[in-house]
A and B are shown apart, each in its own frame.
Chain A
Amino acid sequence: SQQGEEDPQALSIQEGENATMNCSYKTSINNLQWYRQNSGRGLVHLILIRSNEREKHSGRLRVTLDTSKKSSSLLITASRAADTASYFCATDAKGGGGNKLTFGTGTQLKVEL
């Protein structure tokens, strides 16, 4: 089963609105990351939050992590058409040897003008 599962699967909003995506995972983690993918291209790293952190900001991005609920959220404020992409959470499982990230299936975000 997927370690990280994003919710919703798809999200459509108007430019200027905020977009919130959620990620749930199953096992204890060292860190959780969010990546963006534009239309079948390579994934681009957005932000990394460690298990002992609760919130992190980067520009218009805000990530929260609740390890007791095994969940994270990504908030994109004041969205732009250029934010249209798929967003993936990825986890580095504790005790997993640090050999890989486990990715969810992603949220497709569409920002309309």
Chain B
Amino acid sequence: EAQVTQNPRYLITVTGKKLTVTCSQNMNHEYMSWYRQDPGLGLRQIYYSMNVEVTDKGDVPEGYKVSRKEKRNFPLILESPSPNQTSLYFCASSFGRGGEKLFFGSGTQLSVL
């Protein structure tokens, strides 16, 4: 089954404790991206990747890192999480550009205490 898999689904952590949210897709998509969703703000793009070893900042990249060492994986790293990073995070992928149809993961609800 074609899918984007994110883990974990829920995560509670404390300020400053490094964490990684994993994302994997099995559709051989070149484009992958991370969005965060906050009430009243919709979805905002954090980082995106057009292909292996090619990543770039989205609209809200501060406090996040990403890497794209393999085509299928695009982990999101929070090296020193802060409470304002409490949010619902989504990984998405697309066969072509990021402006085409996106396939989304199920989301990661992160709480930073």
Contacts and interface: CB of A to CB of B under 8 A. Distances in A.
Partners in one complex: yes
A33 B104 CA distance: 14
Contacts, number: 71
Nearest to B88: A40
B103 to A, nearest CB: 7
Interface in A1-43: 2, 4, 30-31, 33, 35, 40-43
B107 interface: yes
B97 interface: yes
A101 B98 contact: yes
Contacts of B58: 99-100
Nearest to B3: A42
A96 B105 contact: no
B97 A43 contact: no
A48 interface: yes
Nearest to A43: B104
Interface of A: 2, 4, 30-31, 33, 35, 40-45, 48, 88, 90, 92-93, 96, 98-101, 103-106
26 contacts: A4-B42, A30-B99, A31-B100, A35-B102, A40-B88, A40-B107, A42-B106, A43-B43, A43-B102, A43-B104, A44-B104, A45-B102, A45-B103, A88-B43, A90-B102, A92-B98, A92-B100, A96-B99, A98-B97, A98-B99, A99-B56, A99-B98, A99-B99, A101-B102, A103-B42, A105-B40
Closest 9 CB pairs of A and B: A92-B99, A98-B97, A42-B104, A103-B43, A98-B99, A105-B42, A103-B42, A43-B104, A100-B45
Interface of B: 4, 33, 35, 40-45, 48, 50, 56, 58-59, 88, 90, 92, 97-107, 109
